[in-house]
Amino acid sequence: MERGLKLMEEERDKSEVLAALAMTKYNVGAEEVDSVKSYLFQSSQLSPPSVHGLLALCSLGILYGDTSLTLAVMEELRKLSDSMTKVDVPRLNMMYHIFLEYNTEAGTKHVEECVGEAPENGLLWLLLAQAKLRLTADSDPATVLTAAIAANDCDPNVMASLVVLALAELADGIHRNDLDTKKKALRNAQKLCHLYPGDTENWCILSAAIRSYASQSDDNRLLWRACFYLQWLSMEGPRRNSNLIRWIESQLKEVKEMVTRDS
């Protein structure tokens, strides 16, 4: 690739190749960070610069706590009209506020402003729903659900949108103790597993939705199904995600106690 770089005449092409080199180096290991940063910086100095390269350089700045670099690259990204930057810049800005300023509220507020400017962008709605669902502990479940519904309306049947919709409905149903909302969460979790059966986390969401709905509707048959899924997940589920493993084991124990008590 480095040999090909010397043959490039257009700066646009050189910038893209340098960005690709940097990403290849980064995949080699952490010891290559200085080399990665050098390639990305060279890429950013060419005209026009690679959007991929700028996004990678900004991400590197956030990852290694370089505020000056992050802000400088973000300013360059704002000047571009590339379709990728409409979502990636708000995402990076949110990450900057959260990881470098330790201000989750400011990060979420920035995404809300971006949604207000481009309400037709489903990826921005998805980013907002994910931020509120995962990062803001005191978020109103109803506002999370509104963002999740908008994301799914813009991009229906996309896994990320279905995940956040099922989780938002589940959270809202539990918060309001509303059986109809829990039923919607269950249906969307079933749809999620039907469309994307290879993802373990999807089956965890389904198990949680089944348990929540069954415990309120007193449906012992559904509790047995939740028990079956959790038992299967405990044997065939994730091996590297210790938090998810602990959650599965905890849920399985509780559901088994519920089934035994109701038998």
Give yes or no for residue 102 having a pLDDT over 90: no
Instruction: Find all residues with CB under 8 Å of 150, minimum gap 6, and list them.
Output: 119, 122, 125, 129
Whether 52 and 85 have beta carbons less than 8 Å apart is answered as no
Confidence bin at 263 (pLDDT 50/70/90): low
Per-residue model confidence as pLDDT tens digits over 164-217:
999 999 999 999 999 999 999 999 999 999 999 999 999 999 999 999 999 999
User: At 80, is the secondary structure helix, strand, or coil?
Assistant: coil
- What is d(CA 263, CA 133) in angstroms, rounded to the nearest whole number? 35
* Cis before 156 (ω within 30): no
- What is d(CA 59, CA 77) in angstroms, rounded to the nearest whole number? 12
157 phi and psi, to 5 degrees?
A: 70, 10
The pLDDT, as a whole number, for residue 84 is: 61
- What is d(CA 37, CA 103) in angstroms, rounded to the nearest whole number? 26
Handedness of CA 22, 25, 29, 35 (dihedral sign): negative
Instruction: Find all residues with CB under 8 Å of 166, minimum gap 6, and list them.
Output: 185, 188, 189, 192, 205, 209
DSSP 158: -
Tally Cβ neighbours within 10 Å of residue 61: 23
User: At 8, is the secondary structure helix, strand, or coil?
Assistant: coil
* Cis before 90 (ω within 30): no
User: At 110, is the secondary structure helix, strand, or coil?
Assistant: helix
The pLDDT, as a whole number, for residue 100 is: 83
Q: Helices 179-195 and 200-217: crossing angle, nearest 10°?
A: 150
pTM above threshold 0.85 = no
Give yes or no for residue 224 having a pLDDT over 80: yes
Q: What is the mean pLDDT of residues 130-151?
A: 85
